[in-house]
């Protein structure tokens, strides 16, 4: 039995199977790099009252593995992944704002993804699912906003992949975004983060149980996904935190072992095991690839594969921006947020830049309620 893990602040994630609403678009959805989804489902949850003129909406974008369940509510009382940031008098004040959070296109918590049924075959899409991009994710979210009758957002807010989406929203539909927040993200994916995600995908695809993605109804590629999440966890937190939390403490003071010998190793194994019970490996592959393809600096889109749609360019951004970076972030090093802030300023965007010295690395946006929350609150209520 694994020894007790030294306590520390941890994100609140769960496998969400209920408590969300679903919007379905029956129109064919053409993906940026080719492929058509005959129909698209988008799962979403909301908090706070929508104003009579529908001008108080904050669209909250998730990271790679989060669901639409950002905060608890009557239909799902489990704490959400941003539980302490959303609510009355919190960072996103639900006495003032109507908050909407979706499960990403490509996800596995109610939105259309690789585990969804392909209407043409009656079986899960698996790796017949088309390659998707952050732009595709935003197009799907805009379909939901159209359905809800929301023409303009008060703000677009997100961190990590969510920060990419918030920037994409401001560039893709500048007339629909009043302001935006990008935390621990970047203007494009740089080689270091691309390399890290590549190795994680390789771990999943090297598992014999992956079966080229067609594992549904068969044994699950547990070992590969577990290793992928362990690698990911290395990039989510920081060495200084682990030194304070685990040090060089071993699980047992006996003969060294080749597997879980140090407490930090036991922690990584715990995170890998937990994630395997919650997330679909194919969604992990597709969404992480979408992160790799993200590039607003050079203009994402405009490929003949998407019908020649205009490229999404940084110069199109008009909304005031809050950009937050964390000095201990390994996955999105703080120089990437400095770069984003500088490039936005160069095209005339009003930018507020905040740099946090936190030991929690990339996960700081999930943990530091006061520093992150107060900055978000100030930007939304300015």
Of the candidates 8, 265, 36, the one whose C-alpha atom is nearest the C-alpha of residue 136 is 36
- Is 80 exceeded by the pLDDT of residue 222? yes
- Is 70 exceeded by the pLDDT of residue 91? yes
The active-site residue, picked from 136, 292, 306, 329, is: 329
Res. 1 pLDDT band, cuts 50 70 90: very low
- Is 70 exceeded by the pLDDT of residue 142? yes
Six-digit token string for 350? 């009003």
C-alpha neighbours within 13 Å on the C-beta side of residue 147: 18
* Whole-angstrom distance, CA of residue 41 vs CA of residue 122: 16
Does any domain span residue 10?
no
Query: What local confidence, expressed as pLDDT, does residue 239 receive?
Result: 81
User: Across residues 202-215, what is the average pLDDT?
Assistant: 97
DSSP, res 382: -
Instruction: Please answer whether residues 232 and 195 qualify as being in contact, where contact means their C-beta atoms are separated by less than 8 angstroms.
Output: no
pTM (2 d.p.): 0.93
For the CA atoms of 212, 197, 182, 9, what is the dihedral angle to 10 degrees? 100
Does any domain span residue 13?
no
Does any domain span residue 9?
no
User: What are 236-274's pLDDT values in tens digits?
Assistant: 988 888 888 888 888 888 888 888 889 999 999 999 999
DSSP, res 191: H
Contacts (Cβ under 8 Å, ≥6 apart) of 243: none
- Is 70 exceeded by the pLDDT of residue 356? yes
**SS3 state of residue 366:** helix
Neighbouring-strand partners of residue 155: 58
Q: Which domain holds residue 363?
A: 21-381
- Is 80 exceeded by the pLDDT of residue 377? yes
User: Across residues 183-209, what is the average pLDDT?
Assistant: 97
Does any domain span residue 281?
yes
User: What are 117-140's pLDDT values in tens digits?
Assistant: 999 999 999 999 999 999 999 999
Residue 362 is among the residues annotated as catalytic for this protein? yes
Contacts (Cβ under 8 Å, ≥6 apart) of 17: 109
User: What are 281-321's pLDDT values in tens digits?
Assistant: 999 999 999 999 999 977 655 444 545 567 788 999 999 99
The active-site residue, picked from 65, 160, 182, 288, is: 160
* 315-346: burial string, b at 16+ Cβ within 10 Å, e else: ebbbbbbbbbbbebbbbbbbebbebbbebbee
- Is 90 exceeded by the pLDDT of residue 14? no
Residue 72 is among the residues annotated as catalytic for this protein? no
User: Across residues 41-68, what is the average pLDDT?
Assistant: 97
Work out the angle at residue 145's Cα, subtended by the Cα atoms of residues 139 and 151, and round it to the nearest 5 degrees: 105
Q: Read off φ and ψ for residue 275, nearest 5 degrees.
A: -65, -35
Number of domains observed in the structure of the chain? 1
**SS3 state of residue 93:** strand
The active-site residue, picked from 69, 154, 362, 379, is: 362
The 3-class SS string of 339-363 reads: HHHHHHHHCCCCEEEEEECCCCHHH
Residue 73 is among the residues annotated as catalytic for this protein? no
Min mean pLDDT across 181-185, 309-313, 330-334 is at: 309-313
* Whole-angstrom distance, CA of residue 60 vs CA of residue 74: 19
- pLDDT cut 70: percent of the chain above it: 94
* Whole-angstrom distance, CA of residue 175 vs CA of residue 317: 9
- Is 50 exceeded by the pLDDT of residue 371? yes
Element (H, E) at 369: helix 369-381
Res. 158 pLDDT band, cuts 50 70 90: very high
Does any domain span residue 7?
no
Neighbour-count burial of 298, counting CB atoms closer than 10 A to its CB (0-12 exposed, 13-18 middle, 19+ buried): exposed
Q: How far is CA 135 from CA 8, 295, 372, in A?
A: 35, 10, 26
Of the candidates 264, 269, 231, 271, the one whose C-alpha atom is nearest the C-alpha of residue 248 is 264
**SS3 state of residue 183:** strand
DSSP, res 319: S
Does any domain span residue 15?
no
Query: What's 81's domain CATH number?
Result: 3.40.50.1820
Look at the alpha carbons of 289, 164, 153, 365 in this order and tell me if their dihedral is positive or negative.
Answer: positive
Does any domain span residue 72?
yes
Res. 5 pLDDT band, cuts 50 70 90: low
Res. 221 pLDDT band, cuts 50 70 90: very high
**SS3 state of residue 176:** helix
């Amino acid at each position: 039995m694994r020894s007790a893990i030294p306590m520390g602040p941890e994100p609140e994630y769960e496998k969400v199977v209920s408590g969300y609403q679903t919007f379905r678009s029956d129109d064919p959805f053409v993906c940026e790099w080719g492929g058509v989804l005959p129909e698209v489902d988008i799962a979403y949850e909301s908090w706070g009252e929508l104003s009579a003129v529908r001008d108080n909406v904050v669209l909250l974008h998730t990271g790679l593995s989060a669901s639409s369940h950002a905060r608890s509510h009557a239909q799902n009382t489990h704490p959400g992944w941003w539980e302490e940031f959303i609510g009355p008098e919190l960072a996103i004040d639900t006495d003032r704002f109507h908050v909407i959070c979706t499960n990403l296109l490509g996800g596995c918590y109610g939105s259309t993804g690789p585990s969804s049924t392909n209407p043409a075959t009656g079986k899960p899409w698996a790796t017949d699912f088309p390659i998707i991009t952050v732009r595709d994710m935003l197009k799907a979210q805009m379909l939901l906003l159209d359905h809800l009758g929301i023409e303009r957002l008060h703000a677009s807010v997100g961190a990590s992949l969510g920060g990419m989406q918030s920037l994409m929203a401001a560039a893709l539909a500048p007339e629909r975004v009043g302001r935006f927040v990008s935390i621990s993200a970047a203007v494009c994916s740089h080689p270091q983060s691309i390399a890290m995600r590549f190795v994680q995908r390789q771990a999943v695809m090297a598992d014999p149980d992956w079966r080229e993605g067609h594992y549904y109804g068969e044994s699950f590629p547990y070992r590969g996904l577990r290793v992928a999440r362990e690698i990911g966890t290395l990039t989510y937190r920081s060495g200084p935190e682990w030194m304070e939390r685990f040090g060089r403490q071993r699980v047992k003071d006996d003969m060294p072992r080749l597997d879980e010998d140090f407490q930090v190793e036991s922690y990584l194994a715990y995170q890998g095991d937990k994630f395997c019970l919650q997330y679909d490996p194919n969604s992990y592959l597709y969404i992480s690839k979408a992160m790799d393809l993200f590039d607003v600096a050079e203009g994402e889109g405009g490929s003949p594969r998407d019908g020649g749609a205009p490229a999404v360019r940084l110069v199109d951004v008009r909304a005031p921006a809050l950009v937050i970076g964390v000095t201990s972030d390994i996955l999105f090093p703080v120089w990437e947020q400095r770069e984003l802030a500088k490039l936005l300023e160069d095209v005339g965007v009003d930018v507020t830049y905040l740099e946090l010295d936190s030991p929690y690395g990339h996960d700081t946006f999930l943990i530091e309620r006061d520093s992150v929350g107060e900055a978000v609150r100030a930007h939304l209520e300015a």
